[in-house]
Amino acid sequence: MARKQHQVRKTLLIVGEGDSEEAFLKHLRELYCSGGAGVAVTVRNAHGKGPENVIDHATRLARIASFDKRVALLDTDIPWTDKLKKEARKAKINMIGSIPCFEGLLLAILGKYPAAQCADCKKAISLLLGVDLTERQSYAKHFPKPVLDAARLKIVELDQLLAVFEGR
């Protein structure tokens, strides 16, 4: 009797800056990696405190367990220093930026032009969607796979994010 061969899936660690990013990343995992497809994704929350904390958190998690890929989803409203970029490279963490913040990325996905200030983006997305962005279920209605697939053609950062979920 032949033994069943198990296919080894690539592993991905993805760290979001806060609760909303964590919920969205889990939504993406559900869409792009469910049923054994794609990569085995571990989503973690750095609980804010700026880009240095996100990279530090991802680095510490990567020391605990081995991952084929490591990604950090960061806001770009606080500049990324050369030191931060060097630390990320050393830890093999790919940095993907949300311009100017996560809510700005969501607005861009929906075809809206994001404001330059994060506070304005947060207000605009709240008025537009009227949902709790820290809940994974909130993303299902407004960000289904066809919307994300169409938006990735125009938004480089979204395409980079979805590519890692697809194992590329």
Q: Under a CB-based contact definition with an 8 Å cutoff, are residues 10 and 167 in contact?
A: yes
pTM summary value? 0.91
At residue 100's C-alpha, the angle toward residues 99 and 106, to 5°, is 65
Q: Which residue has the higher pLDDT, 9 or 40?
A: 40
11-165 is classed in which CATH architecture?
Answer: 3-Layer(aba) Sandwich (3.40)
Angstrom CA distances, 19 to 7, 43, 124, stand at 32, 11, 18
Q: At 4, list the tokens.
A: 């069943």
Confidence bin at 66 (pLDDT 50/70/90) = confident
Q: 2-35 pLDDT, tens per residue? A: 666 656 678 999 999 999 999 999 999 999 887 6
The count of C-alpha atoms lying within 13 angstroms of the C-alpha of 67, restricted to the half-sphere facing its C-beta, is 27
